[in-house]
Structures are given as structure tokens and as C-alpha cells.
Amino acid sequence: MAGGSDELKLLGMWASPFVMRVKLALGFKGLSYEDVEEDLFGGKSELLLKSNPVHKKVPVLLHNGKPVCESQIIVQYIDEAFAGTGPLLLPSDPYERAIARFWGAYIDDKLLASFLQSAKGKTEEEKAEGLKQTLVAVENMEGAFKEISKGKPFFGGDTVGYLDVTLGALVSWIHAAEKIYGMRLFDATRSPLLNAWLEQFGALDVAKAALADVDRLVEYAKKRQADQAAAEASSNN
């Protein structure tokens, strides 16, 4: 499906930003694949449990039946396994590649983690601390974008690169969080470069095809919140 004898199958769940990350990478590389939707709450498939027995999570990319797990590792794998197909996402220079991987890890470990805490913390103190750490992370990412992009519209320069795919996976959820919580991760005052990037990346055809619909995400998040609240109320009775 991907070309030649290559067969790609993506085990995922439509609302997961980590799954969207892999879809973005496949899209920018121009690779076709079978999209297999997992029911993470109603019962995970035997294929998923067999393919990712350690974490039992999506995404999992099956390349000719061989599983690759964890979204950033999958993106790097796609770039290397299909180096002759589509654009290279990771820089060819070893130092620049290391920098890209560093900031890729920072996006998940610091930016995303603190952003989630600021929105979903169990106490107001937790939310306040999450917001504080989010602002620090955004400031650091703004500086990283300025240095890495060198005045161009994307982390990859004139074209999309690894960090654009890594951060781009959050675009739909950034817009959804603004509608749900009134929080905007990037804005024209605090992070003008990333704010411009957010709009430019979201307007790309590949991004439109890979990213989830924002209103659908809002409905999904509200339903999950309601289900969780009902479960907690039931357990307390």
C-alpha cells in the first residue's frame, strides 16, 4: 500500500494527538496506509494488545506486519524507512537532528504535560502551577522556533519538518481547549511566532486531512468529562 511491497497499517484512535502525529508524518511523506480505529474504552483489539504488549496504547504502526510503537519513534522510523519517498522530516545534519529530537521530547514532556495540568488539574493549585509551567514552556518553544526556523514559516524552514509534525499534532486540541477552557496556548502577544505558525500549519492540505475536526473534539471531550464525573459520583455513593 505504501509503495512496492510495503504494507502500512496504523492502529489508532481518531481523537488522539499522538495518532494524529503519525497521520501527519504519513501524509507529508505521501504514504498510503490502512487506518484501523481502536475502541480504547470498549475493548482493545487482540492485534493492538499483541502489537504493543508493554503499553497497550495507540498509535502502533505495522510495517509489513512488524509493529513500531510510540508516536515520536514512529515518525522517526517513517522518515528513515522511507527516506527516498517524499521530503525528509528530520534534518540531515547530525547536530540539527539532535536538536530536533531534543525539542520534540520537550513538546511532550514539558509543554503538553503542563498544558494538560493547567486545564485538568484536580485542584485550583494544580491548575495554577500547570499554567505557570505552561507559560515557561511556551516561552522556551517560542525561542526555539525563532532559532531553528531562521525567519522562515516552519521549524523545517520553508517546508515542514520533524518539529512541525511533532507540535502540529496538537493543533486541533489547542483550538478545542480554547473553546472548552477559554485557554489559548499560543497568542499574538506572548508568542507571536508560534501563533502565526499555528495558523499556517493548520491551513496546509495535509494538516487538514490528518487533524481531527475541532468541534467533534469539543463534543468528545465534554462527553468524556461527563462520563468521568458520573463514574466518580457513582463510586462515592
Q: Is 84 helix (H, G, I), strand (E, B) or coil?
A: coil
Q: What is the pLDDT of residue 2?
A: 55
Q: Is 16 helix (H, G, I), strand (E, B) or coil?
A: coil
Q: If one looks up domain 8-81 in CATH, what number appears?
A: 3.40.30.10
Rounded to an integer, what distance in angstroms lies between the CA atom of residue 131 and that of residue 86? 38
Rounded to an integer, what distance in angstroms lies between the CA atom of residue 134 and that of residue 150? 24
| Residue range(s) occupied by CATH 1.20.1050.10 in the chain | 94-215
Q: Is the pLDDT of residue 186 over 70?
A: yes
> 191 near 139, Cβ under 8 Å?
yes
**Using CB atoms within 10 A of its CB, is residue 178 exposed (0-12), middle (13-18) or buried (19+)?**
middle
Average pLDDT, the chain: 95
Q: What is the pLDDT of residue 1?
A: 47
Rounded to an integer, what distance in angstroms lies between the CA atom of residue 176 and that of residue 82? 33
100-129 residue pLDDT tens:
999 999 999 999 999 999 998 999 999 999
CA 224, 225, 226, 228 torsion-angle sign: positive
DSSP state for residue 89 in the 8-state scheme: S
Query: For residue 232, what pLDDT band results from cuts at 50, 70 and 90?
Result: confident
Residue 130: closest CA among 116, 119, 118, 120: 118
pTM for this predicted structure: 0.95
CB atoms within 10 A of CB 16: 20
157-172 residue pLDDT tens:
999 999 999 999 999 9
Rounded to an integer, the average pLDDT of 122-143 is 97
Rounded to an integer, what distance in angstroms lies between the CA atom of residue 107 and that of residue 162? 12
Query: For residue 231, what pLDDT band results from cuts at 50, 70 and 90?
Result: confident
Q: Is the pLDDT of residue 3 over 60?
A: no
* The three grid cell numbers given for residue 61, joined into one nine-digit string: 504502526
Query: For residue 228, what pLDDT band results from cuts at 50, 70 and 90?
Result: confident
Find out if CATH 1.20.1050.10 is the number for domain 94-215: yes
| Residue range(s) occupied by CATH 3.40.30.10 in the chain | 8-81
Number of residues that make up the chain = 237
Return contacts of 15-18, CB within 8 angstroms, 24+ apart. Answer: 15/212, 15/216, 15/217, 15/220, 16/58, 16/59, 17/112, 17/169, 17/170, 17/172, 17/173, 18/58, 18/59, 18/71, 18/169
Rounded to an integer, what distance in angstroms lies between the CA atom of residue 126 and that of residue 117? 7
Query: For residue 237, what pLDDT band results from cuts at 50, 70 and 90?
Result: low
Residue 59: closest CA among 1, 15, 5: 15
Query: For residue 4, what pLDDT band results from cuts at 50, 70 and 90?
Result: low
Beta bridge partner(s), residue 37: 12
